[in-house]
Chain A
């Protein structure tokens, strides 16, 4: 960057960085700040990154130091950087690594410090006291091996994150190779797997449809050990199984399913979160799965949905490599810090639009269709109790009518209608003469319908929330959302993900969100679509009449 030309980055005093995407140096800048800054928003012109303690500690864990970070900021910044911010960055990064968890030849796991006052400070904390043992010397204290994960969590919250240098158990070896006949590992997938492996443990963030399963397979092929894969539901488990058989050298006998219906423990075992977290008589009977084999790699699918009990169990798995896969790291319960300390730092991340630009994900058109409720409906809504308002607004008949019209408009194109309220979905399914998938639909029935949709036998499916995650519908071209859970950003992201599978014919997919005007429905819709806009998908908002009239 020349000394005179203004740089692409604007450093804000609230620790956000604004990157002007159209600037000639933007690409170089992005690569330079990626190690320590987290991408928060990526709309069309200006991407927002944020400097957070977690992000800075991630960078330290990867080997960057404060001087490099300060240097990068000063090099690319367009304007003079506030001094306080630089000092703060240096101070925060400095906190990482003052405490290290290491393996001691005689004492086992120990907590070592390079800075005695810091050790003294953390040892004073009540929470830490129960996790450590005796003092070995002024700089070292024994750590109970079973509390390795717990200790990392607590230290992170205290603001003195520990560097985990105690290494991993290799686990039982098992030969796994990638079988690239008829397909090829994409560059970003290889990069993601490599970054993960290099870091030891951590999370890979890739948008829906970018092939996270393949990244998992690549990681397994690198580790070559027995693997435990945790997924969200049985359908997803079966899909993982199919993918692994297709992409790797694994045979059906080597892969076991551990779910509500089956309990197979094999060198590669796929279990659901649900079955793991079942409690019977106050205990988790299936916890034995974790100890059943000498797992070398534990993979968590859809890390943002990790239920709280699984975090607790993961705290006990710290000696094994852990890989988290997800499209959105944002959790509605704010436990991102636990993901960081228990599974590991983020090892790979890319904005959706970039992967789209590379041709891997289909571009999607997002339209919000505003429906005006009838007089009577508005009246009912106005006098209703607050807790039923959303339901009233979402399931209004005017809305259902518009949905029917929209479907008819796109007749012939593979279409999904998605909603939350089963009675509305039933009504729609009946009026449209389409198949309906809800929580009550059996797994076998679901798979049959998915297969039919995939093959083109049917071109319309009405699905409820249950179909949100981990189903593979590559040929869906139009999705119409009628109602959704209350404003969850993940939900919207996941739904769009259903469309974002690579399309053979390069067609633009379309996503409709049908919203009742002037109600809470519209408010929640705004909240959800903001997230998508921040990912680079611009919404168009149209009145129902215009939407139906447009092409």
Chain B
């Protein structure tokens, strides 16, 4: 940009730019527009911040980046010629010969000049060919060793000296040099002194031979001229092409490709509907870490009839388009936007999804790999939109209908934006994922670029010829005697929703097959339809007459439906005289009591039975209350207090009994044999089954005498049957006073 005088700063340079050049700059570096700079000097200062510069550098392709790095390796200012000289070696001709013809050299020079032009337009470089200045922050970005070269040596060796010194190197020394070839500084102990003793180590020898230079106490560095000589002029370990690899492939008929793409789109829209309905029926709860569980996704995949990767993609896509979202506490649900969206024509629906996909700051494929969860945090990726746009842009440039190999596309991406994918292998990996998703969305079909890609990338709507590939929704059905309803095309949303009440969907696709069954018809009746309504609906929407079995089915299910009714009631009134109940229903309190006639002679109420009793008495009836079991309630009991607790007075024992007991005990003590005799008597009686009269003393001190028939004797007890009332008594032998045979 030669002007009256050379610009001395970037700002001055910018001031000389025409408006469209500034526009260009802002378009290529959109981060500079927000917030809007007040004037050019503020623009310049923003453009030279390290953050903005870093972003701008990331947007360069591989060749432009190389040229920028080369400029960083050269002093500031430098000339175009010097730059070209440095870079010339990178451009060895294809046949590998070191001689370049003058045309080749001119081409090389032109290519470098073009790159510098781009850098200048992006405000990374300013000045003219005689005084090129690299913006300081750009230089800093490449530090410490741009191109892996040390700073120019103060006393550089010339080529002959270098060659001679290299000649004299031992293999060990060469090994050290090779290690430092692309990253020139190395650590060495006592670097400044090691040169004094060349024989001790290769590093020492190298320093002595001036092939290595000590930088400070413990670093040595490979001087620039040595490096360049060793590299034979190469600037980078792998050659950088001046232009990206050409993307070519065989051509397929674009009508075929577009139709296949439309087929994929239709399938995708249908699948998305299924996903939304599945979420509606049984919402998935997000895991605590934020994603959806793998089990839920595999269940969804089964319902779709595909694998978990596709199911994950659909869920992510729906979320990105705002069609599903985590609900308050119920898990992920379709949103109101989904309801609006599903009534739109197919082309519009797809456009929304495609744009959501392009702009989504998430890399969906990562959710589907091991350890990833749909809607989880693993897939966050701010660079995803740029990645998609650049890659698809490259593919679109190859032309619609061109079959492309994702590996080639990956290589092209690696050149176009070397910073978007960390390594070329990563670029190919990402491109494969992208290609797969693009084919699911219809950007790619039959491995070729479809006609849907260019307009969507440009942000336009689907052009008419392509929109025509989407079929018009049909609103009619074909009813058949095997109780199926076939939709010969995509059904209108409202018709489909109604039909789903009446029948179960069996087959999905461009058309649909639904089957009527007793269960499905019952569903409609439960939702409030009547059989007549259903029949009328079918007649209106079918192109064929309603088959007799279907009409019969509707009637049959309706006959049984609602025959049994269930409802709540708190209390009831029955009467044989229905007229009396009618009077009750006209009671002013009827509404408050929630009275309702259930059947002739039965009225139910939402009030307790005593309230109802009140109301009935008011009306002049004399009702009888029933309890829960239907038994008539007797008159309510007269209130009484519970029985008073009186302490029982002990009954004094009859003195006669006490006396005889004491005497008997005495006698027993005296004549143990009496007791033995009693026992013998008892034993005999038991053995022979003879009745005896036994007198014994109970616990309360009273003696009892009864006629007993002994049953058995054991363990100090005798069991006997009382002959008068057949009661079995057990008496302790020690209590027995007397035994007499009867």
Q: Tell me if A46 and B510 are in contact (CB < 8 A).
A: no
> Are A84 and B513 in contact, with the CB atoms below 8 A?
no
CB of A245 within 8 Å of the partner chain: no
Pair B260/A14 contact, Cβ less than 8 Å: no
In this complex, what residue of A is CB-closest to B512? A12
Q: Which B residues between 507 and 536 are near A, CB-CB below 8 angstroms?
A: 507-513
**B-side contacts of A43, CB under 8 Å:** 480-482, 484
* Most chain A CB atoms below 10 A, which of B305, B481, B483, B560: B481
Complex partner residue of B509 from A44, A45, A82, A368, CB under 8 angstroms? A82
Complex Cα gap A368–B560 (Å): 19
Q: Is the CB of A80 within 8 A of B482?
A: no
| B 167-220 contacts with A by CB, 8 A | none
Q: Across the interface, do A540 and B549 meet the contact criterion of CB distance under 8 Å? A: yes
Give, as a whole number of angstroms, the nearest-CB distance from A535 to chain B.
Answer: 9
**A538 and B549 within 8 A (CB):** yes
Chain A residues near B263 (CB-CB < 8 A): 79-83
Interface size class, chain A: 35 or more
CB distance from A66 to the nearest CB of B (A): 13
Which residue of chain B lies nearest to A368 when distances are taken between CB atoms in the complex? B549
**Which applies to chain B's interface (DSSP): helix, strand, loop or mixed?**
mixed
Residues of B contacting A534 in the complex (Cβ-Cβ under 8 angstroms): 482
Contact of B548 among A20, A41, A538 (CB under 8 A): A538
- CA of A12 to CA of B489 in the docked complex: distance in angstroms? 10
- Does any Cβ of A come within 8 Å of B264's Cβ? yes
> A46: which of B305, B469, B471, B486 is its contact (CB, 8 Å)?
B486
Q: Could you tell me the distance in whole angstroms from the C-beta of B15 to the nearest C-beta in chain A? A: 56
Does chain A have a CB within 8 A of B74?
no
Q: Are A79 and B266 in contact (CB under 8 A)?
A: yes
Cα–Cα, bound, A16→B515 (Å): 15
Contact pattern, B 533-563, Cβ under 8 Å of A = 1, otherwise 0: 0000000000010011100100000001000
- Given A45-B486, A538-B548, the answer on whether A533 and B481 have CB atoms closer than 8 Å is yes
1/0 contact string of A527-550 vs chain B (CB within 8 Å):
001100110011111000000000
Chain B neighbourhood of A541, CB < 8 A: 548-549, 552
CB distance from A365 to the nearest CB of B (A): 12
Bound-state Cα–Cα, A539 to B490, Å: 29
Chain A proximity of B549: nearest CB distance (Å): 5
Q: Taking A74-B256, A80-B263, A80-B469 as contacts, is the C-beta distance between A13 and B305 under 8 angstroms?
A: yes
Interface centre among B264, B266, B482 (most CB of A within 10 A): B482
Closest-by-CB residue of A relative to B471 is: A79
Determine if A11 and B549 form an interchain contact, defined as CB atoms under 8 angstroms apart.
Answer: no
What are the residues of chain B within 8 A of A77 when measuring CB–CB? 510
Residues of the A chain whose Cβ atoms lie less than 8 Å from the Cβ of B482: 41, 43, 530, 533-534
Q: Is A18 in contact with chain B by the CB < 8 A criterion?
A: yes
Task: Please provide the chain A residues from 57 to 98 with a CB less than 8 Å away from any CB of chain B in the complex.
Answer: 74, 77-84, 86
Partner of B481, one of A20, A78, A83, A539: A539
Point out the residue from B480, B481, B484, B488 that lies within 8 Å of A10, measured CB to CB. Answer: B488
Q: Which residue of A lies closest to B258 (CB)?
A: A80
Q: Does A48 contact B (CB under 8 A)?
A: yes
**B112 touches A (CB below 8 Å):** no
Q: Is the interface of A mostly helix, strand, loop or mixed?
A: mixed
B508 touching A18, Cβ below 8 Å: no
Q: Are A79 and B489 in contact (CB under 8 A)?
A: yes
Q: Known contacts A12-B507, A18-B486; is A82 also within 8 Å of B267 by CB?
A: yes
B265, closest chain A residue (CB)? A80
- In the bound complex, how far is the Cα of B258 from the Cα of A80, in angstroms? 9
Alpha-carbon distance A368/B484, docked complex (angstroms):
18
Query: Is B508 a contact of A13 with CB atoms below 8 Å?
Result: yes
**Do B511 and A12 touch across chains, with their CB atoms under 8 A apart?**
yes
A167 to B669: give the CA distance in the assembly, Å.
119
A540 CA to B262 CA, complexed, in Å: 42
**Docked complex Cα distance between A539 and B549 (Å):** 7
Please indicate the chain A residues that have their CB under 8 angstroms from the CB of B261 in the complex. Answer: 80, 83
Contact yes or no, B445 A20, CB < 8 A:
no
Is residue B478 contacting chain A, with contact meaning CB distance below 8 A? yes
Interface membership of B259, Cβ < 8 A: yes
Contact of A533 among B483, B513, B560 (CB under 8 A): B483
Write the nearest CB–CB distance from A114 to chain B, whole angstroms.
Answer: 24
- CB pair B481–A74 under 8 Å, yes or no, is no
* Other-chain contact of B544, A45, A79, A82, A83 (Cβ < 8 Å): A45
B481:A44 contact, CB within 8 angstroms = yes
Partner of A84, one of B267, B469, B481: B267
B270 interface contact, C-beta 8 A: yes
- The answer for the CA separation of A518 and B559 in the assembled complex, in Å, is 11
- With a CB–CB cut-off of 8 A, which chain A residues contact B488? 10, 18, 20, 46, 78
Count of A-B residue pairs with CB < 8 Å: 118
- Could you tell me if B264 and A83 are in contact, using CB atoms closer than 8 angstroms? yes
Across the interface, which residues of A come within 8 angstroms of B547, CB to CB? Answer: 538
Which residue in chain A gives the minimum CB-CB distance to B553? A541
B507 proximity list for chain A (CB < 8 A): 12, 14, 16, 18
| Residue among A10, A14, A16, A541 with most chain B CB within 10 A | A10
A543 CB to closest chain B CB (Å) equals 9
> What chain B residues lie within 8 Å of A16 (beta carbons)?
507, 509, 513
Residues of A near B230 (CB, < 8 A) are none
Closest to B255 in A: A3
**A18 partner residues in chain B, CB cutoff 8 A:** 486, 488, 507, 511, 513
* Per-position binary interface string of chain B over residues 549-589, scored 1 when its CB falls under 8 Å from any chain A CB and 0 otherwise: 10010000000100000000000000000000000000000
Q: By the criterion CB–CB under 8 Å, are B509 and A14 in contact?
A: yes
A83 to B486, CA, bound (A): 23
Contact of A81 among B260, B270, B513 (CB under 8 A): B260
Tell me which of B270, B509, B560 has the highest count of chain A C-beta atoms within 10 A of its own C-beta. Answer: B509
A12-B509 contact, Cβ under 8 Å, with A45-B486, A81-B260, A82-B267: yes
* B510 with A44: CB separation less than 8 A: no
> How far does the alpha carbon of A170 sit from the alpha carbon of B481 in the complex, in Å?
48
| A546 CB → nearest B CB, Å | 11
Q: What's the least CB distance linking A257 to chain B, in Å?
A: 41
In the complex the two chains form, is B489's CB within 8 Å of A46's CB? no
> Within the complex, what minimum Cβ distance (angstroms) separates B227 from chain A?
49
Q: Which residues of A contact B512 (CB under 8 A)?
A: 12
Q: Say which residue of B478, B510, B549 sits within 8 Å of A45 (CB atoms).
A: B478
Q: How far is the CB of B89 from chain A (nearest CB, A)?
A: 47
Do B478 and A10 have beta carbons less than 8 Å apart?
A: no
**Given the complex of chains A and B, what is the CA–CA distance between A16 and B305 in angstroms?**
14
Q: Is the CB of B478 within 8 A of A13?
A: no
| Nearest CB of A to B483, in Å | 7
Residues of B within 8 A of A13 (CB): 267, 270, 305, 508-509
Q: Cβ of B439 < 8 Å from any Cβ of A?
A: yes
If A44-B480, A74-B256, A530-B482 touch, whether A12 touches B549 (CB-CB below 8 Å) is: no
Residues on A with C-beta less than 8 A from B259 are: 74, 80-81
A525–chain B nearest beta-carbon distance, Å: 11
Interface string of B114-154 (1 = CB under 8 A from A): 00000000000000000000000000000000000000000
The CB with the most chain B CB atoms within 10 A, among A18, A20, A83, is that of A83
The complex places the Cα of A518 from the Cα of B482 at a distance, in Å, of: 20
- A82–B270 CA distance with the chains assembled, in angstroms: 11
- Write out, one digit per residue, whether chain A residues 1-28 have a CB within 8 A of any chain B CB (1) or not (0): 0000000001111101010100000000
Q: How far is the CA of A80 from the CA of B509 in the complex (A)?
A: 10
Q: Residues on B close to A: CB < 8 A?
A: 256, 259-267, 270, 305-306, 439, 445-446, 469, 471, 478, 480-484, 486, 488-490, 507-513, 544, 547-549, 552, 560
A-B contact pairs, 12 of them (CB 8 A): A41-B482, A45-B480, A79-B490, A81-B259, A82-B263, A82-B267, A83-B261, A83-B446, A84-B306, A533-B483, A540-B549, A541-B549
- With A12-B507, A80-B262 already in contact, 18 other A-B pairs whose C-beta atoms are closer than 8 Å: A10-B488, A12-B509, A46-B478, A48-B513, A79-B266, A79-B471, A79-B489, A80-B510, A81-B259, A82-B263, A82-B267, A82-B509, A83-B264, A83-B439, A83-B446, A86-B260, A538-B547, A538-B548
Instruction: Please give the residue numbers on chain A whose beta carbons come within 8 Å of chain B beta carbons, in ascending order.
Output: 10-14, 16, 18, 20, 41, 43-46, 48, 74, 77-84, 86, 368, 518, 529-530, 533-534, 537-541
